[in-house]
Structure 1
């Protein structure tokens, strides 16, 4: 174990190291001071911020965040949040601009026709104006900064702080990314930022290079599992096929344990804060006690740790102390243990967690680690997409995020390629027996019909191959504002393909750009019979639970309904915000 002190001293796994140190710099830059490096990074960042490329901007944001460290937590978190979802932001800006252009053209034509008939009463044009204001507000949220360099970081942080206030109450946002010094390098450090409405952001830098299995190994392992799975799926001998499947299931189980072990005590940052005020009181008292001993620790960081303390071991708490400060000693440890003891047997924190993951970490099934398995968790590609969806919920009184899902407003597509006989046999009678449901079974749906369905229904259920892009492609998805929640149970329906230095791409992102409030899909390929067990359990338990039932509460038990509880059970993930029944 080593410890290095610096003015930007930043939590780094179980080490207290500087955010950027000389050992991280290429040899050609070795003679530069850290201030010189920060100045160069800032100049490059300011030059690119107006229209950034994800191939370089992501790394640039992360490195600049490292130079800020704990001395400026808001700027650090702002830069980290800016580093993710850049491609998705570009696509969303283009989509919103296109929508505004079409709307203005339609509005002008309607105004010309209605002028002669106007009686001074509200008409269609008023609705258009409201939609135009909503689109303009979203365009402003997704747009990249045009602030002058002289205003950095004040104006950027003010905008960031205002955006955080749009987060729904009770939602904890966890931004995670892997840091490599060179663009395109996976790297072995994780940056984790935690954001909540009404709370100061907290960021930690977790070094994994000294671990037996660093984060780069975990990313390689999930890629290897997917390659092996495709090979096993081609095996014709049944016993050998099952042997290969069970072996892969065990590998995913070990992977999940390694993911949680890698985060160590910092996995507490993935949990929402307890509504109990006592952890806050204990954190305030502990912060003062530690400060009296010359140990400076953020009160917000202590609050997060103490709120999650029932989930942490004494070894975790000890590692936290070793990572916080070189001055941490046995007396500091005792102060922490005393605070934890006072919080024993208290109610576990409840709330929703949104994960914003970079192109490497989005491949991993974080929702299935033991700490999150039974909790309400979803993903979003960027903080801006989450803010946009939150504002959509606030402003649209008819949104299913606010009103809930009407179980009479459901459309299903079952086995559209007519080659999943088991799925059709399992669901056909059940789906068709619902008097208010519409849908197709064993035949391909009409694209125009699906376009109308996702814009008007409350729930779209797809049981077939992939995400159904053959019937509702990425461009068709963007033609209308999506109202329906989409449950896409096909293979790799939520997978984001990563090519070269670019960010992950997949049709599920187009669903979100089109305003879809909730999309469920699979991270990788799944077998029809086992994912059908997940589907059946999820739909039966949720839809029969009654008014107000949140879908995400049934994800954990539904994973357990599969035979391969990790290879298949860990595949489904959700993008969007929590959804409930009317």
Structure 2
């Protein structure tokens, strides 16, 4: 019992093959106390859910999830506790946003003096005949936001039914990452349609505890290192303007290259020390079949039964408990390339699992190294003999729900995720609301999220001091303006009305300037837009969320999410113009945003307020196009998320620059 808080716990943990009455009074007493404590926190959440202090709601949610983990480790509960903990962890990362959205949705449709983005309009009777389709589209948008508002006002954290994942595409998985307030424990949860939820409770110092050594990467040390790397990078970027001779340039690049290596080492260390073998919760599981799980079970049971029998453990008791299939499915994604440290992490997890169920395990008498060798060989054999091609034409897309403690880290670039389709969302309920909005505002009911790649607005060098960036992109943008009907602004600041109209009426907005265009349009005007285009903000720190202490983080990225932006590309920290220009160019190419993918058009495509920001289904490719429009082709087989994450290595500094841009929102395809 004393090792409970120092051990990794999975939910669900086990399947009992034979349930026996627990005769240990201590265990019964602990289970009773845990149940009473969980009930108390549940009651507290019911009182605080709607208007309690954010830090109190978050603390109660994390405590309740931890209590559920302890209950599960002691054989209590079941799928109900696991689902409750998983739903809590995936829902509490953006409490403030959830509350603000109710007022923001109401403000989206205020008519009159407060709406300064519109010219005075004709009375409804006089204007109705002008554009009936526009009116229908606007009404659909209003109705969709109203539906979401009603849902937001109902309790979501306490006494709520399990999250309904039926609208989630089969190849999407949602993983939440949270860290306790004392930075001692990391929680991960995984949701995927038609799969049982999975929760992991990982002590961040579990490796040091086992080896009686200091923690190799305390959470605060990792946070300090990230901030130091970014600060030194900013200082060096500012100093670049004063460097002229070749020797100084070489020193400047040598220093930045060293910073780039430090960033890569930090991300590798995070994966090694914090996640260990449980990095597998982040990996695609489309190739994990029921047969593969059962083969892994047989091999694992054989290895551990032989090891435990060798030290005199009663195998009859060992065989009364079995690891749950959801846990084995997670481990089944590992292979022979898994490091020895990660294998050791898995071995100790299984041994702790037996200990939690009252089976004495004399770890000092076990040959941990040999068990590790056997487990690694088993994983290698399974990976070779049970490798199967993906069952879906689309790769598995991972959506990360990150709490305020971990949002500053570029998780998309840790080794296990580097290059894979990964994006960020505020919370699981927010994702489901986003999908609901798309369905309610589009006549199509299934398919890919798509935008019209001809309905594009761009802002290039609005401050006038990014001459190199303007020289790099202007020829391409001018060509797209002539061939595809794009519209935009070059070399001058846009007005807030120009930006608001573009975000509301276009399908895609590209911004090549400083920051996230906050100096040109207030966040309030963005938030209250009834709909918002897919957006790429390539400026420095455009996607950075500011630390607010105990409160939720805030920033431009959340502003665009509240406006209904389906997909936002933005940078977590400051980057140099030449390197980010190189990366963004690769992203545009991989999305097919060039004239060769679009037929020529003699007329520009105007801005239509009737079109929705995005559709849940791709436009039909074989149908007839309007006479004034070029034939619309699928520009690329890659989504915005795939295009970005596959371009990180195309810049010179693969981590200092390559890890900076991230996607907030959903994968969107260009048509």
TM-score norm. by structure 2 comes to 0.73
Does 1:233 find its partner at 2:222? no
How far 1:98 moved relative to its partner?
3.1
Does 1:527 find its partner at 2:576? yes
Give the Cα–Cα distance (whole angstroms) in 2 for the partners of residues 321 and 3 of structure 1.
Answer: 19
CA contact (8 A) 2:542 2:557 kept: yes
Give the Cα–Cα distance (whole angstroms) in 1 for the partners of residues 297 and 88 of structure 2.
Answer: 27
Which of the residues 253, 263, 271 maps onto 1:252?
263
Q: Deviations over 1:501-521 (max 9, x none)?
A: 111100111111111000000
Does 1:293 find its partner at 2:319? yes
Give the Cα–Cα distance (whole angstroms) in 1 for the partners of residues 585 and 137 of structure 2.
Answer: 40
CA contact (8 A) 1:11 1:323 kept: no
Which of the residues 261, 272, 283 maps onto 2:272?
261
Q: How does 1:417-496 map to 2 (within 5 A)?
A: 417-434=463-480, 435=482, 436-496=485-545
Q: Which has the higher helix share?
A: 1
CA contact (8 A) 2:141 2:441 kept: no
How far 1:390 moved relative to its partner?
1.6
Q: How does 1:210-229 map to 2 (within 5 A)?
A: 210=208, 211-229=215-233
Which of the residues 648, 654, 666 maps onto 1:559?
648
Q: How does 1:53-202 map to 2 (within 5 A)?
A: 53-69=53-69, 70=72, 71=77, 72-99=81-108, 130-145=140-155, 155-156=159-160, 158=161, 160-162=162-164, 164-180=165-181, 185=182, 187-202=183-198
Give the Cα–Cα distance (whole angstroms) in 2 for the partners of residues 356 and 376 of structure 1.
Answer: 14
Give the Cα–Cα distance (whole angstroms) in 2 for the partners of residues 54 and 383 of structure 1.
Answer: 18
Give the Cα–Cα distance (whole angstroms) in 1 for the partners of residues 437 and 645 of structure 2.
Answer: 28
Give the Cα–Cα distance (whole angstroms) in 2 for the partners of residues 64 and 128 of structure 1.
Answer: 42
CA distance 1:97–1:324, change in 2 (3 Å): farther
CA distance 1:216–1:36, change in 2 (3 Å): farther
How far 1:225 moved relative to its partner?
1.8
Q: Deviations over 1:251-295 (max 9, x none)?
A: 111111112112111111012221x4x632232465588497244
Pick which of 298-307 and 390-399 moved more.
390-399
Who is 2:402 aligned against?
A: 357
What is the CA RMSD across the aligned residues, in angstroms?
Answer: 3.5
CA contact (8 A) 1:296 1:325 kept: no
CA distance 1:549–1:335, change in 2 (3 Å): closer
Q: Deviations over 1:99-157 (max 9, x none)?
A: 46669x99xxx9x9669x99xxx98876666444322321234335189xxxx6xx42x
How far 1:581 moved relative to its partner?
1.9
CA contact (8 A) 2:532 2:560 kept: no
Give the Cα–Cα distance (whole angstroms) in 2 for the partners of residues 132 and 557 of structure 1.
Answer: 37
CA contact (8 A) 1:11 1:204 kept: yes
Who is 1:369 aligned against?
A: 414
Does 1:207 find its partner at 2:207? no
Give the aligned length: 537
Who is 2:666 aligned against?
A: 577
Does 1:406 find its partner at 2:415? no
CA distance 1:199–1:64, change in 2 (3 Å): same
Q: How does 1:2-17 map to 2 (within 5 A)?
A: 4=3, 10-11=9-10
How far 1:337 moved relative to its partner?
5.3
**Unaligned stretches of 5+ residues in structure 2:** 12-29, 116-120, 209-214, 302-316, 355-360, 598-634
Q: Deviations over 1:176-229 (max 9, x none)?
A: 01112xxxx4x1311000111121110001111233112332122112222222
Pick which of 317-326 and 299-308 moved more.
317-326
Q: Deviations over 1:53-107 (max 9, x none)?
A: 222211210111111113320111122123211111112122123346669x99x
Q: If you compute each CA radius of gyration, which structure gives the higher value, 1 or 2?
A: 2
Which of the residues 431, 438, 461 maps onto 1:386?
431
CA distance 1:317–1:455, change in 2 (3 Å): same
CA distance 1:279–1:123, change in 2 (3 Å): closer
Q: Secondary structure at the match of 2:422?
A: strand
Give the Cα–Cα distance (whole angstroms) in 2 for the partners of residues 267 and 564 of structure 1.
Answer: 25
Give the Cα–Cα distance (whole angstroms) in 2 for the partners of residues 567 and 532 of structure 1.
Answer: 14
CA contact (8 A) 2:648 2:659 kept: yes
Give the Cα–Cα distance (whole angstroms) in 2 for the partners of residues 123 and 377 of structure 1.
Answer: 36
How far 1:38 moved relative to its partner?
3.4
CA contact (8 A) 1:310 1:344 kept: no
Who is 2:558 aligned against?
A: 509
Give the Cα–Cα distance (whole angstroms) in 1 for the partners of residues 87 and 172 of structure 2.
Answer: 18
CA distance 1:219–1:529, change in 2 (3 Å): same
CA contact (8 A) 2:568 2:665 kept: yes
CA contact (8 A) 1:458 1:485 kept: yes
Q: Deviations over 1:449-469 (max 9, x none)?
A: 221111121211000000011
**Unaligned stretches of 5+ residues in structure 1:** 13-29
